[in-house]
Chains A and B, each alone.
Chain A
């Protein structure tokens, strides 16, 4: 649950009225977000003209999915599967050709003005490349408070204090609140992107390949952070990823996409351990793995070391090549 440091940020930002329906949603069977039969067509360049209609390409072809309160739904697939386009439709970053998105019982597919604005404060997106999704000329302070400013809301507690609280929550040094994105490493920059998403206390965070560009040790940290924030804040994730090993660490449920359609959808362990669709099986078997017997031996050696505290890492210094 919310820790003391997070309390100030969340409580003041979220209007009291919004928390009542939120609680109701969690108890009823109605999911936080429901997408029904989403279709997105793009015109094929170079076709069509004065007389003929352009050929169209269906990037998303009848996708239906649900994200429940407090859960993580992972949308996995290879490039061109339509997973990112689906995420954009759900977050209203692009308009669907047909189909419907219902958020918290309210249709938002064609929402405009105030209703769209409200939806945008409930749904936030974290992108793959932190540097290109953060304005290089803006300080952390300005970046992180931008969603509030855009919505014409007051920054609770003042810009600096608010930014510093958020930075602490995502594991950044709060003294760096006036720095620019280029002064941070990739992992730190991604934390800024996450802090920005948290600024409006969203109920759904869409992560579009949010950890794909990071080094493995940094990636592990960001995965841990995303999981901790969800435990603390109770929001839901729509987690778009091509890396199935990452998905296994973070998802509650998994939807597998191929050629614009969801071919399989289910609980995480069911999909990974007992895949039903041929494509899911192909995908899973293609993932490179360290041999299980090597993994077992390594884990046993690590456990043996942990059990024998007398043996510290001192003798290993000599192994430096």
Chain B
């Protein structure tokens, strides 16, 4: 059986006044059905652009080379109408800031229903509402049958992210892409959302791509990890190997720079060491 998602030699180029810039450079990875992949990197590493490319959501100023295949279908050659049909149905995405992803004028129920009905022709209002309530229950929003009629501002940040996850899961997608899903949340709420993502994956078999700047978050969720730096995947490995025996100097430096809660490390390694390390192992 072939992998659920295959990204092959993906290069994303932006046209700028200073000429073309490759924000992602020859990236390849595969994701099996139900698996989880973490893409970790600092700002400008290209991790978010990668997730947008997978979803077919790159801005028009970007051009793309390489292949992004879902179940063997190359999405990069598909007409937009077909990609749109797959997006939200076969694959869904959640973002860092749930408030800006939700429409303040509609109840969360209406928004989940709309997303669901867009992909399920012939579904009645009543059926969609039932799906919305079930989806909200699945992400542990208490009193879902009442909360379904509330507006986004009536939810806390963590609850809004739950609503987004409920919406993403309503169509039972094969792939969920989560771009910094907990970065804007308090640490106790973050822990709950990470637990929820794990639980959802276990129970629904949805594969997960987690984009994050936070190595510890990725280490808790991902089975495989890609470390990106300035558009290049400098290292990819199973989580255990990557965190216990990192090979690339940049990965090592990045792990050295992370402050640990269990220990005072003394002098932390900063970007100077990171940059010199990257030069050692960087592109020729």
Known pairs A242-B186, A316-B247, A320-B283; A249 contacts B265 (CB<8 A): yes
Residue A248 at the chain B interface, CB threshold 8 Å? yes
**Which A residues lie within 8 Å of B17 (CB)?**
none
The residue that A286 contacts in the complex, of B187, B215, B265, with Cβ under 8 A, is B187
User: Distance (Å) between the CB of B183 and the closest chain A CB?
Assistant: 11
Give the docked Cα–Cα distance between A177 and B283 (Å).
Answer: 34
Give the docked Cα–Cα distance between A266 and B280 (Å).
Answer: 44
Q: How large is the interface on A (under 10, 10 to 19, 20 to 34, 35 or more residues)?
A: 35 or more
Residue contact A317 to B270, C-beta cutoff 8 Å: no
Give the docked Cα–Cα distance between A284 and B249 (Å).
Answer: 30
**Which B residues lie within 8 Å of A298 (CB)?**
243-246, 255
User: Distance (Å) between the CB of B38 and the closest chain A CB?
Assistant: 12
The residue that A216 contacts in the complex, of B254, B263, B272, with Cβ under 8 A, is B254
**Which A residues lie within 8 Å of B214 (CB)?**
288
Residue A187 at the chain B interface, CB threshold 8 Å? yes
Residue A224 at the chain B interface, CB threshold 8 Å? yes
User: Distance (Å) between the CB of A34 and the closest chain B CB?
Assistant: 27
Give the docked Cα–Cα distance between A243 and B42 (Å).
Answer: 17
User: Distance (Å) between the CB of B224 and the closest chain A CB?
Assistant: 12
Residue contact A291 to B261, C-beta cutoff 8 Å: no
Give the docked Cα–Cα distance between A297 and B240 (Å).
Answer: 10
Residue A244 at the chain B interface, CB threshold 8 Å? yes
Interface hit among B124-132, B142-150, B228-236: B228-236
The residue that A272 contacts in the complex, of B28, B248, B261, with Cβ under 8 A, is B261
Interface string of B181-201 (1 = CB under 8 A from A): 000001110110010000000
Residue contact B267 to A224, C-beta cutoff 8 Å: yes
**Which B residues lie within 8 Å of A150 (CB)?**
none
Give the docked Cα–Cα distance between A216 and B268 (Å).
Answer: 10
Identity of the chain B residue whose Cβ is nearest the Cβ of A302 in the assembled complex: B252
The residue that A289 contacts in the complex, of B216, B235, B280, with Cβ under 8 A, is B216
Residue contact B213 to A288, C-beta cutoff 8 Å: no
Residue A148 at the chain B interface, CB threshold 8 Å? no
Residue contact A287 to B187, C-beta cutoff 8 Å: yes
Residue contact B264 to A78, C-beta cutoff 8 Å: no
Residue contact B187 to A321, C-beta cutoff 8 Å: no
The residue that B260 contacts in the complex, of A218, A219, A248, A284, with Cβ under 8 A, is A248
Residue contact A286 to B264, C-beta cutoff 8 Å: no
User: Distance (Å) between the CB of A143 and the closest chain B CB?
Assistant: 23
**Which A residues lie within 8 Å of B233 (CB)?**
321
The residue that B187 contacts in the complex, of A78, A221, A295, A301, with Cβ under 8 A, is A78
Residue contact B186 to A79, C-beta cutoff 8 Å: yes
Identity of the chain A residue whose Cβ is nearest the Cβ of B273 in the assembled complex: A217
Known pairs A283-B187, A290-B215; A218 contacts B270 (CB<8 A): yes
- Residues of B participating in the A interface, judged by any CB pair closer than 8 Å: 28, 42-43, 186-188, 190-191, 194, 213-217, 219-220, 226, 232-236, 240, 243-249, 252-255, 257-265, 267-272, 274, 277, 280-283
A-B contact pairs, 28 of them (CB 8 A): A78-B186, A79-B186, A215-B42, A215-B43, A215-B271, A216-B213, A216-B254, A216-B258, A217-B253, A220-B268, A224-B267, A224-B270, A242-B187, A248-B259, A248-B260, A248-B262, A248-B263, A286-B190, A286-B191, A288-B190, A289-B216, A316-B248, A319-B235, A319-B248, A320-B234, A320-B283, A321-B226, A321-B235
